[in-house]
Amino acid sequence: MIKIKSLGFGYKRKRVFENLNLEFGAGHIYGLLGKNGTGKSTLLRAIMGLLFPDQGVIDAFGNNPGNRRPAYLQEVFMVAEEFHLPGVSINMFVRCNASFYPNFNVTQFWDYLKEFEVPMDNKLDQMSYGQKKKVLISFALACNTRLLLMDEPTNGLDIISKSQFRKVLAGVATEDKCIVISTHQVRDLESLIDYVTILDEGQVRFHHSIEDIQQELEFGISFERAVPQDALYSEHSLTGMAYIKKAATEGNSTGKIDLEMLYKAVNQNEKAICEAFGAEIL
Ligand SMILES: Nc1ncnc2c1ncn2[C@@H]1O[C@H](COP(=O)(O)OP(=O)(O)OP(=O)(O)O)[C@@H](O)[C@H]1O
């Protein structure tokens, strides 16, 4: 659905991407992870058509996002990390914005607001940050665009709202949609994403499906104090030594994937993790 080839982009004083190659397919929810300043938001903005690459191409279902054609913009929505909502009622906001999205479903929108327990009578500028964010997320989901980009969507949401977020997002994920979520809150995405993409210094360091991770890696806890043999990564935990190993038999992995540990493992021991997937270091 999204094919990024040899992408190059830089701000005036900061080169962010050089020869970046990446693909996002329909029917998947991608977790986009990476250190602060590594280029996650920049990538989402470029896919949205808000920034213009100076090299390479972004092909988004046959569109160049930078052309900002209405036919593309009506099929993509981005929930930005920082956003502004006008001082109008929710009703007015919907009346002014929904018509840009042909698949907008107003019943869905009100259902999400109800699910998120957003006070419906307040004007948007009189809402807390978390409440505004819930309105924006509800609007984004109700747009039913083919591509949904979300930058730190769970920032500012309380604990209950985070689990409501997972529930509603799982409900809109269909075979024809692609959802890309940039986040540092990896635990918020556990059991939601089906692909993990890790960027570092403007390059893709890791891009694998949860299914492949499950197949290739073993996540476990050893009650010995010593680092388990053949561990690709290990760390002390409350219950023992948590580790990641290459799965002994392909397709025979045990243990629940710990995304936070996987992220740290890729940062610390990228070569070994890539080799476990039979891939050259990127
Ligand atoms: N408007 C801008 N002008 C100049 N440089 C920018 C601008 N926005 C971002 N940058 C720089 O580009 C690089 C990538 O920034 P970006 O916001 O994409 O990172 P990020 O991975 O989203 O970071 P974070 O996790 O902190 O949100 C950083 O070095 C940042 O300083």
| Same domain as 182, residue 245 | no
Atom 30 of ligand 1, residue of closest alpha carbon: 37
Q: What is the pLDDT of residue 237?
A: 84
Q: What is the pLDDT of residue 253?
A: 53
pLDDT tier at 93, thresholds 50, 70, 90: very high
pLDDT at 272 over 70: yes
| Same domain as 127, residue 214 | no
Q: Domain span at residue 253?
A: 210-277
The ligand 1 atom at the shortest distance from the C-alpha of residue 39 is: 18
| Same domain as 241, residue 171 | no
pLDDT at 8 over 90: yes
Higher model confidence: residue 33 or residue 226?
Answer: 33
Report the share of the chain in percent with pLDDT over 90.
Answer: 76
- Segment 210-233 shows an average pLDDT of 87
Is 158 a member of any domain? yes
Is 282 a member of any domain? no
Q: What is the pLDDT of residue 252?
A: 52
CA of 150 relative to ligand 1 center, distance in Å: 16
CA of 36 relative to ligand 1 center, distance in Å: 8
CA of 90 relative to ligand 1 center, distance in Å: 31
| Same domain as 54, residue 103 | yes
Atom 26 of ligand 1, residue of closest alpha carbon: 36
Q: What is the pLDDT of residue 17?
A: 95
Q: What is the pLDDT of residue 140?
A: 97
Q: List phi, psi (to 5°) of 197.
A: -120, 125
Decide: pTM greater than 0.90: yes
| Same domain as 115, residue 97 | yes
Show which of 174, 201, 228 is a domain's final residue. Answer: 201
Show which of 201, 220, 253 is a domain's final residue. Answer: 201
Q: What is the spatial distance between Cα 193 and Cα 180, in angstroms, rounded to a whole number?
A: 9
- Segment 162-175 shows an average pLDDT of 91
| Same domain as 226, residue 172 | no
Q: What is the pLDDT of residue 70?
A: 96
Q: What is the pLDDT of residue 239?
A: 79
Beta-strand ranges (E) seen in the chain are 2-10, 15-24, 28-34, 55-60, 76-79, 147-151, 178-182, 195-200, 203-209, 217-222, 231-237, 240-246
pLDDT at 202 over 90: no
Higher model confidence: residue 49 or residue 188?
Answer: 49
Is 183 a member of any domain? yes
